[in-house]
Structure 1
Amino acid sequence: MISRRAVTAALGMTLFAPAVHAQSRTAVKFTLGWKTQGSDAPFFVANDKGYFREAGLDVTIDQGEGSGATVTRIMGGAYDAGFGDINAIIQNAATRPADTPAMVYQMWNQPPFAIVAKASSGIKTIKDLEGRTLGGAPGTPTTRLLPVFAKINNLDMAKLKLTSMAPNLQEPMLIQGQIDAALVFNITSYFNLVLNRQDPDKDFVWLSFGDHGLDLYSNGMMVSQKMIRDNPAAVAGLVKAVNKASLDVAADQTMAMASVAKYDGLVNVPVEKRRLQYAFDKLIVSPELKEIGSGDVKDARLARSIGMVVTGYELTRTPAPSEIFNRSFLPARAERELSYKMS
């Protein structure tokens, strides 16, 4: 006969075991770049498929306040890691290199910075912007880097009229004709136009910074210097999990959107699935990505990008690429072969 005490003890061990296992995992506070979007899918897939757990991590994902704010959130100690803009890392590393997070997995190989105008405006080329009114949100990379963009493309800044406005006013004012063009993030503005019942492909012209001399990197996963120093195994696990999930998302966006909707039931699934696919088409997939694999950068290109940001933001020191990007946690190249297929 099995005693009641033995049964009780065995049951207690069974109930307690998962709690012990959960406590043994490393807690990671992770911030998104903005409100929930389809392009955030890799993080939700990594969580749902257990990739974080397999890496010994207990990851809490919170919504963000802007891709630049990800850096300051991590620097302030509220978050260990997040999805944000590498150009914001460059800005902060110029003055506080020891405190600034490092990019460990580059996700957007191409920059989202662009100028958008109505097709009916007659703006077709960069020179057509002269004599026009451009609306930009103060402090955003597109606005701050406009002088660099102008210099590279022989655009006379003295012939531009710049109007400052909140980001949420740019598309409405553009649609109403109160400005001739807007300085935007394409992945944001494109879908703001869609949600305003506009056709962003047919009725608007897009002048991408990346296509006109500003070959910058953009968003990816960054981690705190403290996490790199104190728990490098956790950083490696985080990178491995997100890399694996990114490859899954590239192969199946329908599956990916189920994870996005599970995290935030208020998302517009059709629009956000389209945004996810837009990210692959415009920001992620590139000839360079096919060469070096998902998550990595080319140091020479990053060095050029740093120079552009230093000029645009009038920084007093030029950080080295090694201060900005840390590739030591990347899985082997063979494990980072991203194959995008629209689903």
Structure 2
Amino acid sequence: MLASTSGCGLLGGDEGDSAAQGNGQVEKAKIKVSVMPLIDVAPFHLANKKGYFKEEGLEVETVNSPSGQAGLTKLIAGDVDISYGGDIPFVMANATGSADIKFVAESSSGKPNTMMILTVPTSPVKNVQDLAGKKIAINGEKGVSDTLTKSVMKANNVDFSKVTWVTLPFPEIAGAISRGDVDAGFLVEPFITQASKSVGTVPVVDASSGPTQDFPISAYGATAKFVNENPKTVEAFQRAMARATKEAEADRKVVEPLLVEFAKIDADTAALASLTKFESKLDPARLQRVPDLMLEFGIITQKVDAAAMIAKQPQD
């Protein structure tokens, strides 16, 4: 999926204080947005490259983060204004009281073949039942990867209580599976396609199936303070993102060049990778699935109202 250019604004423009203070259209014209190297952020790069942010009066500086948690940390510290990240960490921050995060814009939900638990043919894991008591590589605990894996295992009546979770960055998971360091691993695209080509991985189970089909995966978040103080800035970001997201969802041909440019993957892999389901509208009922699943698996201890976390959305 997509990597951004760390610390580099793609739109250029005035680097002075005046841009940061607003321009008549928005309260804060120059904003920093943290993203990750994932397909999910393709619409963000599309909006930047096509000048949609600029049309809305925004100059966007792209900040690369290795994980959603790293982006969230930057957000809470005030190092960025908006951060792409997993829905689960955003909800977790609110539930634990570590931050008051608002969902600003939707990003993606899972669809078949975009999130898979994989292994190699020589692994003892042949099916979902074999995952019990095994070592499974994930990119972070109490996140999408282990939560969806647990959900799929539970749906298939498989005990996940004795699984050993091994945390690794997505690019390192295929190698760990191939060497036998782990029995299986959770990957997302384009790492799924890359792993198949490089080490011959085979699917064990689709993590976007059963109770987790169309599960909300990621979004863009900001602190409640930033949202309250900069409503026009937030709305400008939302409009640009919605415009680009609809384009990306309608035509994968606009996405593939972004994978090559920003993720530095080859064109063949970009063409083969299954694309995530880009989402342009935050839906309270759909988003409620996230805290409900977190509560089910003990990630949070009390019910969270997802609707209360959604920033005001632009009128259609």
Q: TM-score range by the shorter chain?
A: 0.7 to 0.9
Return the offset for 1:256: 4.7
Return the offset for 1:89: 0.9
* Structure-2 change in CA distance of 1:212 and 1:120 (3 Å): farther
Map 1:235-250 onto structure 2 (within 5 A): 235-250=234-249
Indicate the RMSD between aligned Cα atoms, in angstroms. Answer: 3.4
Between structures 1 and 2, the one with greater helix share: 1
Gaps of 5+ in 2: 1-13
Contact 1:115 1:208 in 2 (8 A): yes
Q: 1:278 is paired with a residue of what secondary structure?
A: coil
Distance in 2 separating the partners of 1:259 and 1:150: 34
Return the offset for 1:234: 1.1
Q: What does residue 288 of structure 2 align with?
A: 303
Contact 2:260 2:267 in 1 (8 A): no
Letter in 1 for 2:164: L
The one-character-per-residue Cα deviations of 1:96-141 (angstroms, maximum 9, x if unpaired) are 27x3322232221227654212345474542232364434455252
Distance in 2 separating the partners of 1:57 and 1:115: 39
Distance in 2 separating the partners of 1:163 and 1:258: 34
Indicate which of 126, 129, 132 corresponds to 2:131: 129
1:106 and 2:109 aligned: no
1:177 and 2:162 aligned: no
Distance in 2 separating the partners of 1:21 and 1:27: 9
Aligned-residue identity in percent = 18
Return the offset for 1:146: 4.6
Distance in 1 separating the partners of 2:57 and 2:315: 17
Q: Structure 1 stretch 68-77 or stretch 134-143: which is displaced more?
A: 134-143
Q: What does residue 329 of structure 1 align with?
A: 313
Distance in 2 separating the partners of 1:274 and 1:205: 19
Q: What does residue 32 of structure 2 align with?
A: 29
Q: What does residue 203 of structure 2 align with?
A: 205
Contact 1:101 1:223 in 2 (8 A): yes
The one-character-per-residue Cα deviations of 1:58-78 (angstroms, maximum 9, x if unpaired) are 111111121233222212211
Return the offset for 1:41: 2.6
Return the offset for 1:235: 0.9
Larger Rg: 1
Q: What does residue 274 of structure 2 align with?
A: 278
Return the offset for 1:321: 1.2
Distance in 2 separating the partners of 1:258 and 1:211: 28
Q: Structure 1 stretch 166-175 or stretch 119-128: which is displaced more?
A: 119-128
Distance in 2 separating the partners of 1:172 and 1:207: 19
Between structures 1 and 2, the one with greater strand share: 2
* Structure-2 change in CA distance of 1:116 and 1:331 (3 Å): farther
Q: What does residue 8 of structure 2 align with?
A: none
Q: What does residue 233 of structure 2 align with?
A: 234
Return the offset for 1:178: 3.9
Contact 1:214 1:305 in 2 (8 A): no
1:267 and 2:269 aligned: no
